[in-house]
């Protein structure tokens, strides 16, 4: 990835009416602005920023060239300062081509009772071809399970596994640049439940719009999107989640669309944007999509049961049946095509209904739709086979020729722009991403952070422990040592269980946002872990304050402060291990199981329960950070040459007490260093494991 770029900005502020700055006309050969109400902004070439309308007929020709060979040059172009800015014409039109796309998955099956596994391959997509040009909307139709989402995911560069065929964007393969110019609205909405609609969109704007726009300008874009998508009524409502009600499903969908509209994408991929919406809202959403497309964007959408009104808004249609294409072409000629191969209907029907019937293997005017049984199934299979072979005969060859022409045309033209497609830069700086992610994390977890149950848990354990160890006399050395061991166990393991959930819970969000190149993984990782620190450190501090004094441990201030620091240090190490386990497994159930096994092993090997560990397994205790924490707490509290009253009138040396003797209180700095290594090492493992999270 490239380092953050610096933007040069030439803005004249208009402080009177518009929140957008205004300026004189551009001096570089930029597209002609249609409105005089424009500003010139210099932005990195591949940052997605709302673009102005351009006057030229061919967007590729009007694209300004970079002046700097290092790809850190700036590009001046006007940003329109009106409320219609979400529809500004894109400066980077993308022609999307997909040829013979085949996708297979392995299905593992247990064969016998002895548990032998065999692998069977399932073809999800079977040779799908098409081309979508800027300004066009391609709709993917097909019954549930026909492969629409899979194809859309492949087109968005987010499908891993056995994908073959060729998918190109202006003749180039998928790249980071394309990633940042692509808006992808997934079928399931992945949103933070505790943020409001405005907050959700605003944080997205802060992360995805370039730094060359001020915060006010980003806020203005959010306002435009909220108005355009009719979200004004619920703008201050929380998104909601499984445990509490928030905005409606349709509103969530619109928020997801809004998140992608904000960045003015050149390629917009929408997975069922209208499912679950009433027909008026669905129409409204598609109107918005249509307007976006007419700004030079390439739009691909999957859709279930569009009304005929919606159907006629599409330019092209791909009809899928069990992963095989049975129609590709203009939406307006689909009925004509099917009647040419003897699948015509005498009734006036919604074309989408007829297409879906055919994709299900139900011929028009047949009674199969209501019939069930072997006969009907056989007939449906026959219809599907007929349609697939008709596609191969009538459409496939023509399509290949069309694509071949387009290939020649595009490669020739894209040659000069190739360097642009290769460049990959971040729209915002690392520090900016860190700040926004930290702020967003704190807002999202504002209820969780001061979760009363957690505070109650910790304080009640501290008070109960304090009462049990109430003012333990110095002669009761076993009890005092047990109290120190309790410190190391409680704060060695409690944070681990909290941290284990961190990354598995955020998995879907992380995948979604990283797939669109929103931020560096390191900025996310640090923001997420730093955000948790205040509470993670506040609770043990309160705990130690209560139990230390109630338990009557050494009253010297430095001993108390060192004991507190050792506990906080152990908290950080334990949190690191929890993060690593969570990030490696990315599954809450598996992660908690592994965490409980690990804690149990570390607990036993911690040096308190077994004082004479057999030599062949003694290494285990050196892996346990609770061993180091316990040893440090002992070392802070006692000196080997201290004395205590072991029986009436008899003083014994602390260093000779078996529990202390077996630990030894020397070389405490080595223990501090080893814990430091664990702290850094576990976090590094967590970070590397997150890198491996598959972007799907």
Q: Interface residues with ligand ATP (CB under 6 A)? A: 105, 124, 142, 144-150, 187
Are 633 and 548 in contact, with CB atoms under 8 Å apart?
no
Cα–Cα distance, 245 to 239 (Å, whole number): 8
Q: How far is CA 250 from CA 256, 259, 596, in A?
A: 10, 14, 41
Q: In the complex, what is the shortest distance from the CB of residue 512 to ligand ATP, in angstroms, rounded to a whole number?
A: 16
Single out the residue of 204, 275, 288, 213 nearest to residue 239, CA to CA: 204
Q: Does 146 help bind Mg ion (rule: CB under 5 A)?
A: no
Are 326 and 140 in contact, with CB atoms under 8 Å apart?
no
Q: In the complex, what is the shortest distance from the CB of residue 271 to Mg ion, in angstroms, rounded to a whole number?
A: 6
30 binds, among ligand ATP, Mg ion, none (CB under 5 to 8 A by kind): none
DSSP secondary structure code for residue 510 in this structure? H
Binding residues among 507-546 for Mg ion as defined by CB under 5 A: none
In the complex with Mg ion, the residue whose CB is nearer, 512 or 683, is 512
Residue with the shortest CB distance to Mg ion: 149
Single out the residue of 694, 98, 665, 75 nearest to residue 402, CA to CA: 98
The residues near 345 (Cβ < 8 Å, ≥ 6 apart) are: 339, 354, 364, 365
Interface with Mg ion: number of residues (CB under 5 A): 2
Cα–Cα distance, 9 to 212 (Å, whole number): 6
In the complex with Mg ion, the residue whose CB is nearer, 326 or 484, is 326
Residue 336, judged by CB atoms within 10 A of its CB (0-12, 13-18, 19+), counts as: exposed
Contact range with Mg ion by CB under 5 A, out of 149-157, 169-177, 538-546, 648-656: 149-157
Q: In the complex, what is the shortest distance from the CB of residue 160 to ligand ATP, in angstroms, rounded to a whole number?
A: 9
Phi-psi region of 145 (alpha: psi -120 to 50; beta: other; left: phi over 0): left
144 binds, among ligand ATP, Mg ion, none (CB under 5 to 8 A by kind): ligand ATP
In the complex with ligand ATP, the residue whose CB is nearer, 253 or 683, is 253
Are 208 and 48 in contact, with CB atoms under 8 Å apart?
yes
Q: In the complex, what is the shortest distance from the CB of residue 119 to Mg ion, in angstroms, rounded to a whole number?
A: 25
Q: Does 149 help bind Mg ion (rule: CB under 5 A)?
A: yes
Q: How far is CA 288 from CA 91, 202, 257, 396, 600, in A?
A: 19, 20, 10, 32, 57
What track of x and - describes contact with Mg ion for positions 183 through 222 (by CB under 5 A)? ----x-----------------------------------
CB atoms within 10 A of CB 157: 20
In the complex with ligand ATP, the residue whose CB is nearer, 207 or 352, is 352
In the complex with Mg ion, the residue whose CB is nearer, 273 or 329, is 273
146 binds, among Mg ion, ligand ATP, none (CB under 5 to 8 A by kind): ligand ATP
Q: Does 129 help bind Mg ion (rule: CB under 5 A)?
A: no
Q: In the complex, what is the shortest distance from the CB of residue 674 to Mg ion, in angstroms, rounded to a whole number?
A: 50
In the complex with ligand ATP, the residue whose CB is nearer, 187 or 344, is 187
150 binds, among ligand ATP, Mg ion, none (CB under 5 to 8 A by kind): ligand ATP
676 binds, among ligand ATP, Mg ion, none (CB under 5 to 8 A by kind): none
In the complex with Mg ion, the residue whose CB is nearer, 72 or 187, is 187
Contact range with Mg ion by CB under 5 A, out of 148-156, 468-476, 502-510, 525-533: 148-156
Cα–Cα distance, 142 to 257 (Å, whole number): 22
CB atoms within 10 A of CB 201: 26
In the complex with Mg ion, the residue whose CB is nearer, 594 or 695, is 695
Provide the binding-site residues for Mg ion, judged by CB under 5 A.
149, 187
């Amino acid at each position: 990835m490239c380092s953050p770029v610096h933007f040069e900005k030439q803005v004249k502020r208009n402080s009177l009416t518009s929140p957008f700055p205004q300026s004189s006309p551009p001096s570089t050969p930029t597209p002609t602005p249609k409105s005089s109400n424009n500003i010139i902004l210099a932005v990195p070439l591949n940052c997605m920023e709302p673009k102005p309308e351009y006057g030229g007929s061919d967007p590729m020709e009007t694209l300004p060239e970079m002046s700097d060979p290092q790809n850190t040059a700036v590009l001046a172009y006007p940003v329109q300062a009106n409320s219609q800015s979400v529809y500004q014409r894109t400066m980077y039109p993308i022609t999307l081509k997909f040829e013979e796309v085949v996708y297979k998955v392995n299905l593992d099956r247990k064969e016998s009772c002895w548990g032998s596994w065999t692998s069977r391959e399932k073809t999800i997509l079977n040779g799908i071809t098409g081309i979508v040009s800027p300004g066009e909307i391609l709709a993917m139709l097909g019954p549930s399970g026909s492969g629409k989402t899979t194809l859309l995911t492949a087109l968005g560069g987010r499908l891993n596994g056995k994908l073959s065929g060729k998918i190109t964007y202006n003749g180039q393969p998928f790249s980071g640049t394309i990633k940042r110019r692509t808006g992808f609205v997934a079928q399931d909405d992945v949103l933070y439940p505790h943020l409001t609609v405005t907050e959700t969109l605003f944080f997205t704007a802060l992360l995805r719009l370039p730094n060359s726009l001020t915060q006010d300008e980003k806020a203005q874009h959010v306002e435009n999107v909220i108005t355009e998508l009719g979200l004004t009524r619920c703008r201050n409502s929380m998104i909601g989640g499984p445990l509490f009600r928030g905005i409606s499903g349709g509103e969530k969908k619109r928020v997801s669309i809004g998140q992608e509209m904000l960045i003015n994408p050149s390629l917009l991929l929408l997975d069922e944007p209208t499912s679950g919406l009433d027909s008026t809202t669905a129409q409204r959403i598609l109107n918005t999509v249509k307007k976006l497309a007419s700004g030079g964007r390439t739009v691909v959408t999957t859709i279930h049961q569009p009304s005929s009104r919606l159907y006629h808004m599409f330019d092209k249609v791909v009809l899928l049946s069990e992963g095989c294409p049975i129609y590709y072409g203009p939406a307006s000629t689909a009925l004509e095509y099917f009647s040419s191969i003897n699948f015509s209907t005498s009734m006036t029907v919604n074309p989408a209904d007829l297409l879906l019937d055919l994709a299900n293997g139900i011929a028009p005017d047949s009674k199969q739709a209501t019939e069930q049984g072997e006969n009907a199934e056989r007939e449906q299979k026959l219809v599907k086979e007929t349609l697939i072979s008709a596609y191969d005969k009538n459409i496939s060859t023509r399509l290949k020729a069309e694509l071949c022409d387009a290939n020649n045309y595009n490669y020739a033209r894209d040659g000069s722009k190739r360097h642009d497609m290769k460049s990959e830069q971040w729209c915002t700086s690392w520090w900016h991403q860190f700040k926004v992610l930290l702020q967003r994390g704190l807002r999202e977890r504002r209820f969780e952070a001061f979760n009363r149950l957690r505070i109650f848990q910790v304080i009640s354990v501290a008070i109960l422990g304090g009462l049990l160890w109430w003012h333990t006399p110095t002669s009761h050395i076993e009890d005092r040592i047990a109290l120190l061991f309790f410190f190391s166990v409680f704060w060695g393991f409690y944070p681990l269980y909290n941290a284990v959930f961190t990354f598995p819970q955020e998995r879907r969000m992380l995948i979604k946002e990283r797939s669109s190149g929103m931020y560096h993984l390191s900025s996310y990782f640090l923001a997420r872990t730093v955000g948790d620190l205040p509470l993670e450190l506040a609770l043990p501090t309160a705990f130690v304050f209560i139990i230390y004094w109630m338990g009557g441990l050494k009253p010297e201030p430095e001993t108390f402060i060192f004991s507190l620091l050792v506990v906080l240090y152990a908290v950080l190490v334990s949190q690191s291990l929890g993060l690593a386990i969570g990030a490696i497994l990315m599954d809450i159930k598996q992660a908690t199981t592994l965490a409980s096994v690990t804690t149990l092993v570390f607990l036993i090997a911690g040096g308190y329960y077994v004082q004479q560990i057999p030599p062949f397994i003694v290494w285990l205790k050196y892996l346990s950070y609770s061993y180091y924490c316990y040893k440090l707490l002992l070392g802070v509290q006692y000196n080997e040459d201290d004395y205590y009253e072991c029986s009436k009138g008899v003083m014994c040396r602390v260093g000779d007490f078996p529990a202390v003797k077996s630990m030894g209180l020397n070389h405490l700095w080595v223990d501090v260093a080893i814990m430091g290594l664990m702290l850094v090492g576990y976090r590094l493992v967590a970070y590397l494991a997150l890198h491996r999270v598959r972007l799907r």
